[in-house]
Amino acid sequence: MTTQQLRPIVSVFPIKGKVKTIKQVPLPSVFSAPIRPDVVRFVHTNMAKNNRQAHAVSTTAGEQTSATSWGTGRAVARIPRVKGSGTGRSGQAAFGNMCRGGRMYAPKKVWRKWHRKINTNQKRYAVCSAIAATAVTPLVMSRGHRVNKLPELPLVVSDQLQSLTKTRQAVKFLKFIGAYRDVEKVIRTKKTRVGQGKYRNRRHVLRKGPMVVYARNLGIKKAFRNIPGVETASVYTLNLLKLAPGSQMGRFIIWTESAFKLLEDIYGSWEKPSKFKSGFYLPRPVMVNTDVERIIKSDQVQTVLRNRRPRSRKYGKKIQRADPYEDMSVMVKLNPYYKTKLQKQKELEEKNKKERKEIVDKSRKEYEDWLYFSEEEEEEEEEEEEEGSDEDREIEVLSDEN
């Protein structure tokens, strides 16, 4: 990437004395290659198949009988049965994969495809990713390496390391630089292998410790050879199976200065091709800036966005509401005129009541008056009637009736 003109600086440490920077080296471009666990996993699973040895079941296994089926009508299953008599084996089922002593289903063949081809570029991509991951402390730590006491990651050390010959010197160096904790972990967790490998010459299982990468072997190989967990490798031949054991990226690597510098030549950059791998440029990342959150929150993006559509929270929940005919407050909220309406109705009713009362009273009074006067008349008539004769009265009565 053109942005990689300025590259970060890495300190080089001595192999003894005081842990302080003796030199500073620019970080090779490989360490900015995209870290792709998916690529590494794919390449690793296929690469790991390449050191397999062929195995198979004997071609004659389970077939060395002349068994024939008894056919139907004998109250036995129709599986081929061993011929003859005089032995327990006779009459037993043979040949089938379900039979005891029979051949297995699909007997394994030697010509099974044991190895896998992987595209060269894919292999190189994976290695670049794995190397980049070794500089990322969280990845190295999550792989399980004890790197707390290291002065720096990536750990680059002076070229004098390549000239070490004695294991004692090597151990002293590891302790000096703070890498021995990782070795201690390996020693502490050495265990007998679980499973049948233990009696197949693979008795012990060790963790992986630091890996020492050198440019020239001037004795370093032998010096570090016997330290449990430590592996050495030449920078020219970095193996993915060692850089990302179990397809887990982030091996703890100790680089020598010249090895570290050579990485730039061996893997190239995005502008310059590799000197050793013809036509190979470093893989380009899909995203240059992976801080998506920051991109989204940046001014350039936010100013161009439309406003968030407001969630109509008013109608979000199920609204509970009382019956307006039972709860006055709900009624008034819906119809503010309601109270006034009731009042007016009341007033009207009272007015009507009053009027009715007046009318009723009036008519009652009239009736009572009429009653009163009619009583008086009757009394007068009665008095008159008492004075007159019977005959006269009869006539009067008749005339009243008329």
Per-residue mark of binding to another protein, 34-53 (x: CB under 8 A): --------------------
Q: Compute the least distance from the CB of residue 335 to another protein, in Å.
A: 5
Q: Compute the least distance from the CB of residue 351 to another protein, in Å.
A: 15
Stretch that binds another protein, among 114-122, 248-256, 260-268, 310-318 (CB under 8 A): 310-318
210 CB burial (10 A radius; 0-12, 13-18, 19+)? buried
Q: Compute the least distance from the CB of residue 320 to another protein, in Å.
A: 8
- Indicate the residue among 88 and 310 with the shorter CB distance to another protein: 310
SS3 letters across 171-217: HHHHHHHCCHHHHHHHHHCCEECCCHHHHCCCCEECCCCCEEEECCC
Taking CB under 8 A as the rule, does residue 341 contact another protein? Answer: yes
Q: Compute the least distance from the CB of residue 340 to another protein, in Å.
A: 7
- Indicate the residue among 20 and 309 with the shorter CB distance to another protein: 309
The CA distance from 42 to 118, in Å, is 9
Which residues are within 8 A (CB) of 92 and not within 5 positions of it... i.e. 6 or more apart?
A: 81, 82, 99, 100, 101
Pick the binder of another protein from 192, 335, 363, 374 (CB under 8 A). Answer: 335
The CA distance from 314 to 67, in Å, is 83
Are the C-beta atoms of residues 240 and 44 closer than 8 Å to each other? Answer: yes
Pick the binder of another protein from 312, 389, 399, 402 (CB under 8 A). Answer: 312
The dihedral region occupied by 337, where left means phi > 0, alpha psi between -120 and 50, and beta the remainder, is alpha
181 CB burial (10 A radius; 0-12, 13-18, 19+)? middle
- Indicate the residue among 281 and 338 with the shorter CB distance to another protein: 338
Per-residue mark of binding to another protein, 357-386 (x: CB under 8 A): ------------------------------
11 CB burial (10 A radius; 0-12, 13-18, 19+)? middle
For tokens 């300025």, name the residue: 6
Stretch that binds another protein, among 113-121, 126-134, 166-174, 320-328 (CB under 8 A): 320-328
Strand partners for 255 = 156, 213
Stretch that binds another protein, among 155-163, 196-204, 322-330, 382-390 (CB under 8 A): 322-330
Stretch that binds another protein, among 193-201, 217-225, 327-335, 384-392 (CB under 8 A): 327-335
Q: Where are the strands (E) in 206-272, listed by range?
A: 211-214, 231-234, 253-256
Stretch that binds another protein, among 113-121, 282-290, 326-334, 392-400 (CB under 8 A): 326-334
- Indicate the residue among 285 and 324 with the shorter CB distance to another protein: 324
- Indicate the residue among 100 and 308 with the shorter CB distance to another protein: 308
- Indicate the residue among 204 and 333 with the shorter CB distance to another protein: 333
Taking CB under 8 A as the rule, does residue 346 contact another protein? Answer: no
3-state SS, residue 234: strand
Of the candidates 164, 120, 143, 142, the one whose C-alpha atom is nearest the C-alpha of residue 15 is 164
Taking CB under 8 A as the rule, does residue 337 contact another protein? Answer: yes
243 CB burial (10 A radius; 0-12, 13-18, 19+)? buried
The CA distance from 209 to 242, in Å, is 11
Taking CB under 8 A as the rule, does residue 142 contact another protein? Answer: no
Residues 248-307, interacting with another protein (CB under 8 A): 294, 297-299, 302, 307
Which residues are within 8 A (CB) of 280 and not within 5 positions of it... i.e. 6 or more apart?
A: 121, 124, 267, 268, 273, 274
Q: Compute the least distance from the CB of residue 315 to another protein, in Å.
A: 5
Q: Compute the least distance from the CB of residue 293 to another protein, in Å.
A: 8
Residues 60-99, interacting with another protein (CB under 8 A): none
The CA distance from 53 to 261, in Å, is 37
Interface with another protein: number of residues (CB under 8 A): 28
- Indicate the residue among 200 and 311 with the shorter CB distance to another protein: 311
Stretch that binds another protein, among 42-50, 89-97, 98-106, 328-336 (CB under 8 A): 328-336
The CA distance from 253 to 242, in Å, is 10
Q: Using CB under 8 A as the criterion, which residues of the chain lie in contact with another protein when the complex forms?
A: 294, 297-299, 302, 307-308, 310, 312, 314-315, 318-321, 323-325, 330-331, 333-338, 340-341
